[in-house]
Structure 1
């Protein structure tokens, strides 16, 4: 009987090791498939931070593979010993501990929660700090790092989703373990009467609570840290939504835990409980991804244009990118006469064409307009250094005579003749030119712009004022590659927020890169 029990233990350990290694490979395959989707669909796939999770899973895979080999060797040795002596040996405790304490279930849970309840992924595993200074994250997952920051004043978020607008923390603590921790630190549920209704209600108390972090429950400290970090970080002028997922605990089974979750929700955090059912890894013999799995992964892709208005206000920086030879002509041979910045843009364009991967998708079938000042500045630059094809595209883009009387289809056809890229059939050309001053002046006079707009106006050039203030006053999205100005505007809004949580600056989408005109020679400062 004892021999059978020991033999079963050996077999179970071997089965568990094989199962864990197989699950690791399945999880890695899904992560790799998602990364491949990013490469195929995103201009800059690295903006979505997946490497941290993949690295952790890969490291766990290597560890479990080694343990699996050791288990197999031990099973073989035990079998040989049993044949020689007629008895069995128990599996080494350290090997069973390595299998049972694997981090794989946590990684699977994080991945599954992301697949089934998140969209617009920004990062797996990102640290956010609080230091009394609010930062505009922008949702790209690549916030500016400051040297020497205190990790004690930070929180590690497992999933950053909804293009930066949601932070998700996962805790795989069990109900039993949580109750043990609560008892150890003096947390208990008391009953007290409600004076108005006469009903009894449960209140969670901690008689031993002090300012010492040692007395604080891990989940409560986590909730507090998430709140502090979120209050010091903004994404598109808003604090991120916070979500805590506790899959191994069901509400309603323990009044102490239910009261604890009320405390956590008091920090403005959504708490989700209940076991997450992990999807079976749906791979064929060729390791191809199943249709259902693909759908989940597609949902995770960034959605950078979801806040766009039906009309877009195009900045001068992108007007130039829309007509540049760099954007339209393939296989341009770099010349020593070209500015280094142009040569670099040529290299980037070969890797990821700007129009196909970023600007065309951003514009879609939306109405396009620009201010008179932006159009005028663009014409000045094109007239000064533009090539003949760049000048021709400018006339088509802005509807200069005789194209102002042409039908859109005819303009698109002519524009296509000047491009090696496929021009979208729904692209709205020509771009409408609008007079910005009257609109902005009217908005100021009618107090349609916040008071901080006067502070913003002081740092903007005439052209930037017309572009960004027109979008602000008209409540339409401005698209630009002028990240420096956008960051300056965001900083001023935050400096003068004065407790107004609804305050927002102009709605702007920043293109990662732009394209200069190819005629820009080395040393020219235009």
Structure 2
């Protein structure tokens, strides 16, 4: 039997196409990672490394197949036509079984319909015996770097895309219509369209499913139904800033409106509170925004006015935030040395705080202002004291307008101070606002328990922001998590219960003198 050169040509073309598609996808992912490195203080906040690794594995697989095919081609002189033909078929089968189309579909959904990307690929759990709401985080690792988890993988779902800064979960399924129809027939999903009640109404179809019974065997459930149900359970066990994630399943190979049975499956999926997008709706909503749209959007819930915590007031005046190339002295604490090194990599004010504050009215409570002034007057340098007076509009700067205050502040900083920075910071008395909110009962009952656990200054800052509905900005993550945990323990099934709107800056800045001559 003679060898068919057409088959060889098909495998060669398929491998070349797959190889180029892998490289194209990797190029886009690399471009995005480069954008993260250039724009974010911590590029690891957006996790795409595992996704890239998976695509790269596909590339290596294709390259190995191409290499093997060339080697085999050089040695086929003694092989019969049937053997060569069989080898070509195996190669084509492997190429067509590649996971690259799935990765392309995921990336296509990300590029066309997602903002604020958090991660590509995350397993999330429900009911693992602990507090699921605060724990859908990367698992801990042992001393060998291996993940340590006692969670039951059967009570989990793999989310392909976490977007909108954690508030949206997206799952992509490349199941085809023919595969879905086969599974429906295999598992007894039938439409009783010919059955009617005596009054002429159609009888409801009987569906093989047992997802009301937690302990039952789920083998008869359709894959897509199990997927929607699992997403719902995991989302109900997870809160992102007091809210459950929105859910979306994308089915790029399924057309809605063609097959009634498939439409019923789609509607069943939607009954779990999941948005389902089929191929026709994807075409209608397709966009191609730039990669910038995928960057985190930390300020999206900011109010027009911001309540500034003492920690960030100090960061705004610290020499560490304004003086480039501060020499590292032997007496500096390790934390200050880390902050100096951090400033060299990505300065806090230009990269994070000024963009957060820009064009917004800045407020602070009288307690926060008093504490900040106490610290600066005790250990601040002369320039830190000057910046504090300008920032707070203290004499001799109390009669200056915003433009003049910016000019004076610029004299003390090596960075370009934005003209949109609204100085001075206005000081407010927190307690009257808190008392008024309690009197009007605009705060939930749990607010009383929250307030009792806070120190005087934290009570002033965080309760003031909550009472007035103003975003509080702080670097005090410990207090923010303490408030969140208290609220979650007292939620009692209230899905609408929310705590204060707090934005936490991951990086703080000490005053230079704060850590001098302190022992480690």
TM normalised by structure 2 equals: 0.91
Report what 2:106 is aligned to.
110
Whole-angstrom CA distance in 1 between matches of 2:309 and 2:274: 38
Counterpart check, 1:27 vs 2:21: no
Once the 2 structures are TM-superposed, how far is the Cα of residue 520 of structure 1 from its aligned partner?
Answer: 1.5
Match of residue 90 from structure 1 = 85
Secondary structure of the structure 2 residue equivalent to 1:308: coil
Contact 1:190–1:205 under 8 Å retained in 2: no
SS at match of 2:84: coil
Kept after mapping to 1: 8 A contact 2:156/2:234:
yes
Indicate conservation of the 8 Å contact 2:380/2:511, yes or no.
yes
Q: Tell me if structure 2 keeps the 8 A contact 1:185–1:208.
A: no
Q: Could you tell me whether the CA contact under 8 Å between 2:173 and 2:250 is conserved in 1?
A: yes
Structure 1 pair 223–400 and aligned structure 2 pair: CA distance change class (3 A)? same
How far apart are 1:230 and its partner, in Å? 0.5
Alignment equivalent of 1:53, drawn from 51, 54, 62 = 51
2:271 to 244, 249, 266: 266
Deviation sequence 1:360-413 (CA, Å, 0-9, x none): 111111111111000000001111111111111010111111211101111101
Where does structure 1 lack aligned partners over 5 or more consecutive residues? Answer: 278-291
Find the aligned partners of 1:221 and 1:474 in 2 and give their Cα distance.
Answer: 43
CA–CA distance in structure 1, aligned partners of residues 30 and 198 of structure 2: 58
Measured in 2, the distance between the counterparts of 1:196 and 1:189 equals 18
**Distance change in 2, residues 1:354/1:3 (3 Å):** same
User: How far apart are residue 522 of structure 1 and its match?
Assistant: 4.7
Match of 2:249 among 228, 244, 251: 244
Residue pairs, 1:52-201, within 5 angstroms: 52-78=50-76, 89-92=84-87, 93-131=89-127, 133-136=131-134, 147-191=149-193, 198-200=200-202
Which of 340, 358, 365 is the aligned partner of 1:346?
Answer: 340
The C-alpha deviation readout for 1:312-365, integer Å capped at 9, x for no partner, is: 110001000000111100111111111121111111121111111111111111
Q: Within 5 A, what are the aligned runs for 1:373-388? A: 373-388=367-382
Q: Is the 8 A contact 1:186 1:207 kept in 2?
A: no
SS of match in other structure, 2:443: coil
- The residue number in structure 1 matching 2:220 is 215
1:150 CA displacement: 2.2
Q: How far 1:199 sits from its partner (Å)?
A: 4.3
CA drift at 1:178: 1.2
Further displaced range: 181-190 or 467-476: 181-190
Query: Is 1:316 aligned to 2:310, yes or no?
Result: yes
Q: Which runs of 5+ in 2 are unaligned?
A: 142-147
| C-alpha distance in 1 between matches for 2:377 and 2:295 | 40
Whole-angstrom CA distance in 1 between matches of 2:74 and 2:15: 15
- Structure 1 residues 207, 125: closer, same or farther in 2, change over 3 A? closer
Counterpart of 2:430 (choices 425, 436, 444) is 436
Closer, same or farther: CA 301–194 of 1 in aligned 2, 3 Å? farther
> For the Cα contact (< 8 Å) 1:192–1:203, is it kept in 2?
no
**Alignment correspondent of 2:443:** 449
- Spell out the pairing of 1:251-400 with structure 2 (5 A cutoff): 251-274=256-279, 295-400=289-394
Helix, strand or coil for the counterpart of 2:416? coil
* C-alpha contact (below 8 Å) 1:168/1:245 kept by paired residues: yes
Judge conservation of contact 1:311–1:477 (CA < 8 Å) in 2.
yes
User: Which residue, out of 496, 505, 508, partners 2:490?
Assistant: 496
Task: Kindly indicate whether the alpha-carbon contact (under 8 Å) linking 1:339 and 1:520 is maintained by their aligned counterparts in 2.
Answer: no
Preserved CA contact (<8 Å) 2:316 2:349: yes
Query: Alignment RMSD, CA only?
Result: 2.5
